[in-house]
Structure 1
C-alpha cells in the first residue's frame, strides 16, 4: 500500500498552505464576525485553478485528482471552514455531477463557466420536509414543449445567494417515489428563479446559505441532467463524493484547532511553567494527533478509492463520520486548554468549535452515516 503523496499532490498542499496563511487566515475572524462572503478570496481561488480543480483541462479545469481536491479543502479549512465549505460545494456538488452525468454539450457549456468563467456552483436537494428522506421532496418539474417548469423551494443551500449554476432535484413523477426524482442544471438567471431567506447560522458565517424558490421557473429541456427518473441515484452518488470533501473540511478544522492549542499552551504559564509541560496536556495532544492521523488516512483512502473507480460509499461515510466527530471533540478539548480565553472571540478556537458542529449534520448526519455503513456491511 502506498502512503506517499505524488509530487503534484504535495505541490497542491504547499500552494494551498501558503495561500491559506497569506490570504485566508488574515481575514477569517472578520469574515466570521461580519458574516461576509469572502468574494475576493474566491476570485483568487478561481485564478489559482482551485475552483473546479478536479475538472479536466479540456473543460477549463486544472485536471487535478480527487485526493488533491481533498487536500485543498483540508488546508483551507485549517483557518477558515467557511472558505473550505464554499470550495467543497462548488467542486464536489456542482462540478462533480455535471462531469459525471452530463452530456458532452452540458459539459462544454457549464464546466468552463464553473472554472475559467468564475461562475459559482451549488447543489439543491434539501427541502423543509425532505432532509434525510429525499423521497418526500415537493418540488416538481413538468415538461411543457421545449422546456421544463419547476415549482417549489429548497432550503439550507450552500452558496445559495451567490451561485450562478445549480444542480437541482425535482419530482417528475410523484407516484414513483425516489424513482420519480430527476436532476436539472438551473441557472440563477432563469425566469422564475429567486432567492428566499438568507440563513443566520451558528457557524460557517462566511458560507452563504439560503432558501431557493422556483415559481414557474423555466428550464430548457436539454438541461435535464442524466435520464429522467435517475435524479435520486445521481444525488446519492454525488453525496458520496461530497462526503470526502466534508471529511477533509472537518479534518482541517481539527488540525487548525490543535495547532492553535499547541501555540497557546507553549506561552501560557501556570504554576511556574508553560502548561504544555504538564503531562495531562501532553496526553490530550497525543490523543488529538492520533485522531488526526486516523482521520487523514480514512479521508485519503476514500479519495483514492474514488480515483481508482472503486465503489467508495462506505469509505466516504466512514471518513465523514469519523472526521466530523473528531473535529467536534478536538475543538472542545482545544477550547478547554484556553480556559476562559477560549470562550472569547480574542482567539479563533470558539469559531472553530462552532464551525465544526455542522460537519456532523450536513451532507448526511452522523446517524445517516451509521445507517449507510451498517447497511452496506451487514
Structure 2
C-alpha cells in the first residue's frame, strides 16, 4: 500500500454526505499515471481502427465481427486488465480497469456490451469466487480471449427480483453431477460464448446457487434465435434453454446458496463499470456534433454560432465532465479500499469484493447519473444533426438507440435510485455513516434564526461549496424526516425514495466536478481551468434546480401543516444563491471552448 493511500483521508461509502472531502484527496483523470495514459491511448487506437471505422458493420448485425473484435481485444490484453497475472491477466488496479472500460466502449454499444458481459459478469465471478482449480481452468482462457464468457441470471419471471428464478439444479443419483433445467433470457454473448455462469436453485433452497457451465449443445443446451432489439444490434442476445444439462459438482461456484450474493456483488461492479462505459460515448458524440455544427452553414453562418446550439453543446460537455469526475473519484476510492484490506491481510478476492461493496451507494449513483446523461447527450446529438441525425447513414441515430439500454442494464435506474437511499439508511443503522446527528442539527437549524452575515466569496468555489453544504442539508432534512415518519416502511414509499435519491445523486456529481476543478486549479492555475470552472458552476446550478423540484415533491408527499411550511421554508433557504450565476454566459464560455477545440477537449 502506497504512502499516498495511507495519508489520504479515505471516506467510507456514503460518508461524502456528512463529511467534507478535501480536493487533494480525490483522484481525477488528470492524475492518470504514464502507464494509464498509455493504456488509454492503446484502447483509443483499437477503437478508432477496429470499431469506429466499421460502425456500419455493427449496425448490420454482424455478430461474427463483434466476436472477431473481441478476440483482437484479447490478444492486446484488453480483456484481462483486471485479472491477476497468475491467470494470464495484467493484474492492474481498479482505476486502470475503469479506464479501459471507459475508452474501449466509445464507438458502439454492441461491442461495449460484449466487452462488459465478458470481462465483468462473464469472468469476474470466477476470478473472485472460484477456487484455485476453477480459476486455472477458466480464467486464463477468458483473460486472453481464447474463450468467451456469458452470464445467465435473468429469467422470464425473474428480472429485478433475481432470486426468484425457477431454473433447477438436481444432484444426479451418483452424486457426480448437477442436472440443470430451465430457461434464461437476455443473455449477452450467448451466440459465441464458450462458458456461462448459470444460476439455479437446488431443491427448495432460499437462495440460488452459481455454476460454471461449458457451452456444449450436445449437453442439453439450446438457444433461441437472436433477439430483435432497439439498439446494440451486433451484440449477440439470445434465450438459453437447459434440459438436464450435466454440470460436474466441482463446477459449483463458491458455496451452495451463495448465488444471490455473487449476483448482487457482480451488479455493484457492473454498475460503476457501466458508468465508465458511457463516458467515451459522450465524448465522441460531442465531438461529432461539434464538428457538424462548425461545418453546417445556415443563414450564412455555422450553426455553432447560434445560442440554441451552444446551450446544447455546453450542457452535454458539462454533464460529461461531472460524470468523468465522479466515476474516477469513486474508482480510486474503491482501489484504495482494496489496498487497505489487502494490507490488513485479506486475500485479493475478499479485498476486491469488500472494496467494491463498501461503495455500493456510489456505484448506484453513478449508474443512474451517467446512463441518463449519455441518453440525453445522444438525443441532443441527433437534434444538432437535425434531419441527418435521424438518418441511419450517420452514427448519431445508432448512438441514441444504443444508449437506451444503459438505463435498464445492471438493475433499472428506478431500482438503483431506491437502492442508493435504502443502502444509505442501512449504513446509518449499522453506525457506518452518522446520518442521525447531522439530520438532528438540520432540524434544529430549521427552527433557529438564520445568519445574516456576509460571507467572503473571494476564494474560488467558496460560495459553491457553501451551496453544496446546504444541498446536503436538504437531503438530510427530507430523508431524516421521512425515516422518522415511516421507519422500516420507508421502502414502500417509492416515489419519495426516488425524489430523495435525485437530490443525493446531484450532490455527489456536483461535488465531484467542483473538487476535481479545485484540485486542478491549485496545481495548474485558475486561468488554465477557466472552462472547467464554468462547467462546475453550471452543473451545480442545474443540481440546485433539481433539488428544489425534488425536495418540494418529497416534502409535500409526507409533511402537512406547520411541519410542511417549515420544511418548505428550509428548502428555500438551503437552495438560495447569494450571487446568482449567469448561466447563459457560462454556457457560452463552455460552448466556445468546445467549438474552438472542435470537440470535447478533455480525455
Same fold judged by TM-score > 0.5? yes
Q: Tell me, what secondary structure is at the counterpart of 2:270? A: helix
Does residue 1:101 correspond to 2:129, yes or no? yes
Which of 156, 180, 186 lines up with 1:150 in the alignment? 180
Q: Name the structure with the higher strand share.
A: 1
Q: Is the CA contact 1:46–1:116 (under 8 Å) kept in the aligned structure 2?
A: yes
* Equivalent in 137, 146, 156 of residue 165 of structure 2: 137
| 1:182 is the counterpart of 2:204 | no
* Higher share in helix: 2
Instruction: Give the direction of change, closer, same or farther, for the CA distance of 1:172–1:331 in structure 2 (3 Å limit).
Output: same
- Cα distance, 1:24 vs structure 2: 1.0
**Where do 5+ consecutive residues of structure 1 fail to align?**
none
Distance (Å, rounded) in 1 between the aligned partners of 2:372 and 2:170 = 41
The CA RMSD over aligned residues, in Å, is 1.4
| Structure 2: segments with no counterpart, 5+ residues | 1-24, 339-354, 426-603
Pairing 1:13-32 to 2, within 5 Å after superposition: 13-32=40-59
TM-score, normalised via structure 2 length: 0.61
Aligned to 2:409: 362
Cα deviation, residue 21, structure 1: 0.9
Q: How does 1:92-241 map to 2 (within 5 A)?
A: 92-116=120-144, 118-144=146-172, 145-174=175-204, 176=206, 180-189=207-216, 191-241=219-269
Distance 1:353 1:135 in 2: 32
CA drift at 1:116:
2.8
Q: How many residues are paired up?
A: 375
Aligned counterpart, 2:376: 329
The Cα shift of 1:367 comes to 0.5
The whole-number CA distance in structure 2 between the counterparts of 1:129 and 1:241 is: 24
TM-score when scaled to structure 1? 0.96
Q: Is the 8 A contact 1:158 1:207 kept in 2?
A: yes
- Name which of 86, 91, 96 aligns with 1:68: 96
Q: What is the distance in 1 between the residues matched to 2:164 and 2:153?
A: 11
Q: Deviations over 1:108-156 (max 9, x none)?
A: 1111111236100111100000000012211011222111110001000
Deviations 1:15-56 (A, max 9, x none): 011111111111112221234342221121011011122111
Are 1:11 and 2:41 an aligned pair? no
For residue 594 of structure 2, what is the aligned residue in structure 1? Answer: none
Contact 1:52 1:90 survives alignment (8 Å):
no
Structure 1 contact 52–95 (Cα < 8 Å) conserved: no
Contact 2:205/2:257 (<8 A) preserved: no
Separation in structure 2 between the aligned mates of residue 301 and residue 231 of structure 1, nearest angstrom: 30
Once residues 17 and 202 of structure 1 are traced to their aligned partners in structure 2, the CA distance between those partners, rounded to angstroms, is 26
Q: Does 1:372 align with 2:419?
A: yes
* SS of alignment partner, residue 274 of structure 2: helix
Three-state SS of the structure 2 residue aligned to 1:114 is helix
Q: Which runs of 4+ in 1 moved over 6 A?
A: none
Q: Tell me if the contact between 2:70 and 2:145 (Cα under 8 Å) persists in the aligned partners.
A: no
- Structure 2: distance between partners of 1:106 and 1:358: 32
In the TM superposition, residue 104 of structure 1 has moved relative to its aligned partner by: 0.8
Equivalent position SS for 1:166? strand
* Maintained 8 Å contact 2:282/2:320: yes
Structure number with larger C-alpha Rg:
2
**Distance (whole Å) between structure 2 residues aligned to residue 219 and residue 208 of structure 1:** 24
Alignment partner of 1:347 is 2:412: no
